[in-house]
Every structure is written in C-alpha cells, then in structure tokens.
A and B are shown apart, each in its own frame.
Chain A
Amino acid sequence: MSRTRDGRQLSMMLAPYLVGLVALVFVPALVTVAMSGTEWDLITAPRWVGAENFIELARSDAFRAALSNSLTFAVVAVPLRLALACGLALLLQRRTRGVGAARTAALLPTAVPEVAYGLMWLWLLNPLYGPLNQLLTVGGENGRTAWGTLPPQWLTDPQHARAGIVLMSVFTMGEMLVILLAARRALPADCYALAALEGARPWQVLRRVTLPLIAPVLALLTLRDTIGSLQVSFVPALIVTDGGPPQYATTYLSYFVYRNAFEYLRYGYAAAATVLMLLLTVAAVVAQWRLLRRMRW
C-alpha cells in the first residue's frame, strides 16, 4: 500500500527532471540522429540521403583535421590542466600567508566569461604588441628572443596556434583546483603523521601517500575533463583563431559542427558530425572507465 504511494511520490518528484531530460536531451539526440541521414538547409524541406553525410565526412579534409585536432587537444590539454590543478592544490592547501590571494588568482580565469576571456587572449597572443611575446623577446634584438629565435607566431603558425589554444585552456582549471583542494584537505592527518614517523621524504609522501589517496578524485576529474575537452576548445577557436590559420589548424570538432550548421546551413551534415562526436565521447568514457575503475577500493 505505502509502497505504491512511495512510488507515486517518487515519480512525481522525478517528473520535472525526467520531462526536461526527455524534451531537452533524448528527443534532440534522436532528432540529430535522424537529421544526420538528411540534407537540410532549414529553408527547403529535408531530403533523405542515407549514409551520404557520413561518407562525405570520411572523405573531408576539414573533418579529418578537426578530428585529429580535437583528439590531440584532449591528449595534451587534459593532463596539463589536471597537473596544474593538482600541483596548485597541493601547494595551496596549507593555510599560510598569501595562500588566500593565490587561490583567488588561480580561480579568477575560470570566473571570467568565456568570450571576454577569448578577447583577452587575442590581445595576449598578439605577435607584435601582445605582452606574451614582448616578454619572450626581452633581451633579444629585431623582435627575436634572447636566443636569436623567432618568438611563437600564435596566430599564424598552425603548431603555435594549437599550442596557444591549449595554453588558454590550461588556466581555466579553477573548478578542478577547488575539487582537488577539498579532496586534499579531507585526507586523514594520521596518514601524514605516520609517513613522518616512518621517515618518508617529501617526494615519497607525495608518491606513496598523497597521490594514491586522491587518485579516485583524479580519475573522476580525468573522465569529466575528457568529455569537456570536446567543448572547451570551441570559444577560443571561434574568437581567437577563427579555426585557422588556414587551412584547419584550430578547427576542432565543435567548431566544425558550428561552421557547417550555422554558416554553411548544412544541418544534416553537421548532425552527422555531431553523432560521430557523441560516439567518440562514449568510446573515450568507456575506455577510461575500464582503466580507472581499478582505482576503487
């Protein structure tokens, strides 16, 4: 009797979320899958083309570049973001003078609106008057560095542009920092007292105590950030590099989809790319989950 009432209460309380989930996630996802089999420009009626979009994607240089750029970005940026967040968390976990200000400074880039953040980097990365290259050319002559090499050409050299996007993304790890700070502060003090008594040196404490104990949190963050990495490269690519330098140096999957849908009005084609993006995310999550699940105890 009360069981059915519990069930009814539960479904009533879950209803708003379920409605949202179905209307805003499941249905659009299904529509996207359906759309990926069509040619549609939003004006004329959609035309069924079967697997043609996918075949075209496979042959497209732009898509292959976007796929490779996105994968490279994930492989490079996720570990860097995690390493920086983890390093800062361990450095800033003590309550000493200056730590509060340092934490605020580390969090600030994450709090800046994405577009403003992108515009800021457009200036920072400017090869002529941008402060970054001015700093790099200190002590050099004729706009070269002190070692006589050219400073990075952030906006014109493909490699440098990709590095610039990674650099931008590294500083927005504030959320990970907060989580890791909390995780580090929750570790039992007795374990550290024990390590001290057993004569463990600082790097041993890091390797044998701290890192293993926060490993489950690191694993979770790796998983989450990999999923996120398909998105975080979007605004920088849109605002700072516009997908270039030519041809497709910083065209990431998200940017590729955006361009095809909203600039070229090829909704079916963009939907097909989105479906592949989704499959990629699922594959990455499953692969990582299999690797990381051993860390539970």
Chain B
Amino acid sequence: MTDLATADGVRLSGLKVAHGDVVALRGVDLTVRRGELLVVVGPSGAGKSTLLRAVAGLENPCAGTVHFGDREVTRVRPGERQVAMVFQSYALFPHLDVAANIAFGLRARGVRSAEARRLAAAAATVVGCGHLLARRPAQLSGGERQRVALARALVREPKVLLLDEPMSQLDPQLRVSMRAELRALHDRVGGTTIHVTHDQAEAMALADRLAVLNDGVVVQVGTPTQVWGAPATDFVARFVGALPMNLFPADAPWRPAGVRPPTGGQWGVRAEAVGLAPAGADDDGQAEVVRVEPMGADLHVHLRVGGNPLVARAPAGTVDGLTGRVTLRVDPAAVHLFDADGRRLP
C-alpha cells in the first residue's frame, strides 16, 4: 500500500479553472503536506469537486500550477500523475466482478491477469471486502460498493489519493462508522489524501487539516480545532460547527457588556458559549424562548433577542421548563468580531 516514502505533497498555486463563462476556481493556493489527510469542505457549488479534478488532471486550469512534491504536473495527463480517485458515484463497472473492478487500472497498465487478481484480493482484504471478490456491483450494498471503490483506488499505490464525497450515498449511521474506518485506514496505510465533502461534521471528524472553500476561493486552512475556534471569516463561522455561529450586526440592540464590534461589522458567539439563566429583574440580556429542540444529551434552545435570532446549546437537564423569558450570559472573551468585509478581527 501507499506509504510515506512514495507519497508526495501537493501544492496548488494561483489555480484558476473556468467552465465556459462560469468560473469554478478563482485563484486557489493550497498546500497538502506529505502523508496528510486534508479535507476540503464547502457548500455545494463552491468548487470542491473541480479542485479535486484539477489535482487529478481531469480539469484544464486556465492559470496557476499544480505540483506533486517538486514536480510540476499542471500539464501532465491524468493517467501519468499516479493519483487515484474515489468518485461520488463510485464509477464501478457493472459488467465486471469486484476483483476485475479493483484490477481495472492494473490491467490497463499491462499487469498480468494472475498478478492483478492477487493484488486486487490483497487490496480488497485491506478495506474489508475480501469476501466479495466474485460479486457484481449490482449485488453489493452502498457501503460495500464504497469499499470496492476504495480498494480500486489503493491497489495502484497512488502518490495522492482523492476522495470526492465518498460518503454522500451512505445512510447516516453507516457514514459515521465508515468515516472512523476511513480515518483508521489512512493512519494504517499513510499516503497523501484529499477528501472533499460538504458535510462539516465529516470534515471535522476526519481531517488532519481542513480547507474551507467558498465561491472558488480557499477561505481558511487549519486544524479542525483552529478553524472552529477562530474562524477566519463570518462565512467560516457560519459553515463550520454543528450549529452555525450566532452572528449579530454591530448595531444590533443587544450585545454583551464590553463587546465593541467595528462599525458595519458583526459580532458572534458559538451556541455552546451562550449561558442561560432565569429572567431576573434586570432587563438587559433578556431573550424570548421560541423553541426548544431536545437533541438527546443537549438542548438546542432557539431564542430571540432584540429582534435577532440566536441558538444556545445547553446540556439536557440543566435548564428545566424553559419558556417565556430568560437572561443570556455571554463571556466577552468568547465573542468573535468580524469587520465590515466579514474578516476576523484578532
């Protein structure tokens, strides 16, 4: 399998890709370290798949460069880049059994049939589909198909592994267990991996580092903790996290004492940092409870304060019988400030 000795880092510089008049990537700079699992996350239409396809060589960039290690591959054909990809649709061939599907690339490169089948069986065992070799894709479940696609990607020992929304066709329970398996697999076989997803929970759970992509631009790169703890823009603040950050315009009627957002800017606070107390005599910080969503261990408390919506997350049982009015407790140290252009202020 892939290991650190053969893996390459990936460096994108000023990468621009356009499909006709539609600009998909508008100057992307991104470095993926050797052996790292980098997750590219962003909303639909952000250009995530285009970015992945550009790394694979399936897109023709109109500007910028792609480097694998020290080698520039911008104009190198996909088949010569030694990258492997798992597609959202898995792209398994219906007429081939699992073994032949996994061996497809080896056979195309002239590996002899017996040897290709041996390598395919080995790769299938690594991803846990060794017992399915004789089946056709139509006889497999979604999770099994994904394993086969993964085995096919790994069997050639690629320098870079690309995963395009590989979990999107799985049901939620399976998605959670598969992502743990995928992470364990990466830790075991190593290799540089770029994983694209629109699911921020999947991104947080898997990533060594996250790259947040929006509208064809990389907005922020960092570990999940860094990106969640210090979002670079108001977009990242809203996008990353189980609950979007509560954001208020600078001139909102209420803000915690000591918080001074810039004119035209915003201040924000994570739902986890909003404390709730019974409404006191003091009118300051009083919010109206709109709806309480019991999420099991937590409650999501939807509130309105000074006309703005706000969500607080509180452990179940700590706030009983929440109705009517409550007082908000927000530590000024937990407040994030963004300027008029949406950029984070230190």
**Residues in chain B near residue A297, CB distance under 8 A:** 94-95, 136, 138
Q: Are B109 and A197 in contact (CB under 8 A)?
A: no
Quick check: is A191 within 8 A (CB to CB) of the other chain?
A: yes
Q: Which residue of A lies closest to B162 (CB)?
A: A197
Q: Which residue of B lies closest to A295 (CB)?
A: B95
Q: List A residues at the B interface (Cβ < 8 Å).
A: 188, 190-191, 193-201, 204, 208-209, 212-213, 215, 295, 297
Q: Are A212 and B105 in contact (CB under 8 A)?
A: no
**Residues in chain A near residue B252, CB distance under 8 A:** none
Quick check: is B68 within 8 A (CB to CB) of the other chain?
A: no
Smallest CB separation, A232 vs chain B (Å): 31
- For chain B, what secondary structure do more than half of its interface residues adopt (helix, strand, loop), or is it mixed? loop
Can you pick out 20 interface pairs between chain A and chain B where the beta carbons lie within 8 Å of each other?
A188-B89, A190-B91, A191-B91, A191-B93, A193-B56, A193-B78, A196-B58, A196-B78, A197-B56, A198-B104, A199-B79, A199-B108, A199-B109, A200-B108, A208-B104, A212-B96, A213-B94, A215-B95, A297-B95, A297-B138
Query: Interface size class for chain B?
Result: 20 to 34
**Residues in chain B near residue A215, CB distance under 8 A:** 95
A196 to B79, CA, bound (A): 6
Which of B57, B81, B95, B105 has most chain A Cβ within 10 Å? B95
Q: Are A197 and B78 in contact (CB under 8 A)?
A: yes
Smallest CB separation, A59 vs chain B (Å): 48
Q: Which residue of A lies closest to B149 (CB)?
A: A194
A193 to B50, CA, bound (A): 13
Q: Give chain B interface residues in 91-108, CB to chain A under 8 Å.
A: 91, 93-96, 104-105, 107-108
Q: Are A193 and B93 in contact (CB under 8 A)?
A: no
CB within 8 A of A197: which of B79, B90, B136? B79
Q: Are B108 and A193 in contact (CB under 8 A)?
A: no
**Residues in chain A near residue B107, CB distance under 8 A:** 208
**Residues in chain B near residue A191, CB distance under 8 A:** 91, 93
Q: Which residue of B lies closest to A297 (CB)?
A: B94
Q: Are B95 and A193 in contact (CB under 8 A)?
A: no
**Residues in chain B near residue A209, CB distance under 8 A:** 93
A198 to B86, CA, bound (A): 12
A213 to B95, CA, bound (A): 7
Decide yes or no: A212 and B95 within 8 Å by CB, A197-B79, A199-B108 being known contacts: yes
Q: Nearest 4 pairs between A and B by C-beta?
A: A199-B79, A198-B105, A190-B91, A200-B108
Quick check: is B167 within 8 A (CB to CB) of the other chain?
A: no
Smallest CB separation, A284 vs chain B (Å): 25
A129 to B95, CA, bound (A): 51
